[in-house]
Structure 1
Amino acid sequence: MAEKPEPAAPLSAAVVIATYNRPDRVRDCLDHLARQSTAPDRVIVVDSSPDARTERVVRDFPGVLYARNPMGRGRTPESRQIGYSMTREDIVAFLDDDANAWPDWLEQLLARYDSPGIGGVGGSALNGVPGERQAGIGSIGLLLPDGRLTGNFAADPGHDVDVDHLLGANMSFRRSAIEEIGGIYGDYPGTCLREESDLALRIRARGHRLVYTPAAVVDHLPGEYAKGKRFDRRYVFYANRNSVVLLSRVYGTDAPVVRRFVVTAAREVIHDLRRAARGALAIREVGPRRAIRTVLGGLSRGGVVAAGVVAGFPAARRAVRRDRARQSAMRADA
């Protein structure tokens, strides 16, 4: 009679939290982690703040490790890399400091690593928006042919879904998959938009599956931005600049998806300019104040989109050169 195979050993897991100037949010985040049905083997808080408030909070949680990121504001991927480098566990999970994990969050993430082909698993981030569990059910975490990324990471399709990228507020990866791609890359300044997509898309490009499960839930209570506001002009600039960098370093600067992204951005600029022109023509109907506001809004937004795309190309070339140098150094050390 054949012997039954030994059951697989449970996966070990570390949780990394990158933070800047949000000690109260870090406390809430750690409080929720302390109540997990499956406790993480290691928790690391990486702090870019200019003061010691967050460090004092971490001291209230025995066993939680604290690390400094001296690079300061706008360096989330570098903080993730610092935290990742301190781990030895099978799975490395990442939480934003303003994400409060539900009690079975980690248990649900780990349960999805039932196949060696799965390189990463992410979950839902609920923002308290009515209808968000139904919105975008058919387009969660996709890289579209024109280079744009869909989100919809609050949606609940009722089952797990294979995706192209994951949300940084609630994602995890096999440590071996992160090692395979050479770690976590920086060069996503400003709002740090697209930094988590870089990690996910590079792992996906190596042939690993990425899975989104609506069962691994965090309440995402976005804190104040270190500078500016979400969806302001600064946000739009870096969304376009960092998208060019992301697509270029993952697929190559001459990749068709990069060209398609530029065409899509150009159409967006044309739309904004037409909006400005319509505002100018409607001055008699809507009055000068509203017309001027429409004209300036269209011109400003179109200019910001164009500036972001233009700035993205030299930044992408620099990032690709640094990536190649890093890969050469890794091969030399191997």
Structure 2
Amino acid sequence: MTGAIVIPSYNRPRQLAACLETLAKLEGGPWRVIVVDDGSPEPLAPVCAAAPIEIECIRQKNAGPAAARNAGVAAADGADTILFTDDDCHPRPDWARRMVAAQDGVPMRLVGGRVVNAVTGNLYSAAAQSIQSYVYEAFGDFSGPFAFFSTNNLACRRVDFEAAGGFDTKFRFASEDRDFSRRWRDGGGEMSHVPDAVVDHHHRMGLRGFWRQNWSYGRGARRFHTKLAAGGGPEVSLASRDFYVGLLFHPLRRPSPRAAAITGLICAAQALQLGGYLSERRAERRAKP
């Protein structure tokens, strides 16, 4: 069974170089690595050429990470299994081996690993990690209607990815993972969580990045909900009060001097996502005749 690793990247040469260094240490190789330069102002081909392993670098006009991932899969001719990660992630040495073993060539099995915040001193990154960890816990066995795997730690058979239609390129900034997972289940696919397949997430954020990320998440969520409604999907409503209470108290499970600050940032993240959601809804109304 052959595997190809697809990495979309835009204007982050330093992060990409560090990611490629870690891929050189993967067990069970050699692994085919395809980087899709999503129209970076300065081409990323020199970064790929300087990597300690052979990298296939594709450049396209800026179209967003969903389109970049689709282009990477299209270039991965001959690969049985496609693994996805991001340029700010450092897969651990056994990551690819564990992901491929969990997928095991089973038709319509989507595999998602675990993402760990590697920037532990950054409060914004810690808050983002707490949200994702709690949401994954809330999904349970990942069989519910809104469960999804994030695209920075994902694997499936190439033929199944293509049959599912790939990522919807209308999701330019967020929620393409939610949409893809939803369509995967609608097509009869299963989702298998592999917590031992870990990527360390080196996403250092400041206030501006935190604001932009969560606002974009809200906009993406609105586009996802609109698409669901247009397709006759399940009605989307706000999660229960218990869900939000659990989300806010998640950092307090392991008391630390920073737990209260992280909880405060989670509150801010939810408010920003709501703002992004409402702004996208207003844009939809303005666009209607």
TM category (shorter chain) comes to 0.7 to 0.9
AA aligned opposite 2:69: R
Matched, 1:173 2:173: no
Candidates 177, 195, 199, aligned match of 1:214: 195
One-letter amino acid matched to 2:278: A
- Corresponding residue to 1:97 among 87, 93, 117: 87
Greater Rg over alpha carbons, structure: 1
Residues 97-124 of structure 1: CA deviation (Å, up to 9, x unaligned): 0100100000000111236244211111
Identity of aligned residues (%): 25
Task: Report the residue type matching 2:232 in the other structure.
Answer: A
**Residue of structure 1 equivalent to 2:236:** 260
- 2:36 aligns with 46
**TM superposition shift of 1:245:** 2.4
Unpaired segments ≥5 residues, structure 1: 1-10, 150-163, 269-297, 318-334
Aligned twin of 2:218: 240
Q: Aligned match of 2:61 in 70, 85, 90?
A: 70
Report 1:11-160 matches (<5 A).
11-52=1-42, 54-61=44-51, 62-71=53-62, 75-88=64-77, 89-114=79-104, 116-128=106-118, 138-140=137-139
Task: Specify the code of the residue in structure 1 equivalent to 2:81.
Answer: I
> Deviations along 1:259-309, whole A, 9 cap, x unmatched?
433xx39x99xxxxxxxxxxxxxxxxxxxxxxxxxxxxx999865542233
Aligned to 1:205: 186
Contact 1:181–1:203 under 8 Å retained in 2:
yes
* Cα offsets for 1:148-181 (capped at 9, x unmatched): x5xxxxxxxxxxxxxx321111111211111112
Structure with the larger RCO, 1 or 2 (CA within 8 Å, 6+ apart) = 2
Distance across 1 between alignment mates of 2:83 and 2:69: 10
3-state SS in 2 of match to 1:45: strand
Summarize the alignment of residues 291-310 of structure 1 with structure 2, pairs less than 5 Å apart. Answer: 304-310=276-282
Distance (Å, rounded) in 2 between the aligned partners of 1:178 and 1:241? 25
Distance 1:304 1:174, change over 3 A: closer
TM-score (norm 2): 0.72
Q: Specify whether residues 299 and 48 from structure 1 end up closer, same or farther in structure 2 by C-alpha distance, changes over 3 A only.
A: closer
Counterparts of 1:189-204 in structure 2, within 5 Å, are 189=172, 192-204=173-185
Which residue in the other structure is 1:154 paired with? Answer: none
Task: Provide the rounded CA distance (Å) in 2 between the counterparts of 1:199 and 1:299.
Answer: 25
> Does the CA contact (< 8 Å) of 1:248 and 1:255 recur in 2?
no
- Aligned partners of 1:95, 1:301: CA distance in 2, in Å? 24
1:104/1:313 Cα in 2 relative to 1: closer, same or farther (>3 Å)?
farther
**1:78–1:256 distance in 2 versus 1, CA, 3 Å:** closer
* Amino acid in structure 2 at the alignment position of 1:81: N
SS of the aligned residue for 1:25 comes to helix
Q: Which amino acid aligns with 1:184?
A: F
What secondary structure is seen at the aligned counterpart in 2 of 1:207? coil
- Aligned equivalents of 2:223 and 2:97: distance in 1? 34
Q: Is the 8 A contact 1:244 1:312 kept in 2?
A: no
Unaligned runs of 5+ in 2: 121-125, 242-269
**Pairwise CA distance, 1:193:** 1.2
C-alpha contact 2:37 2:43 (8 A) present in aligned 1: no
SS in 2 for 1:203: helix
**Distance apart, 1:71 and its partner CA:** 1.9
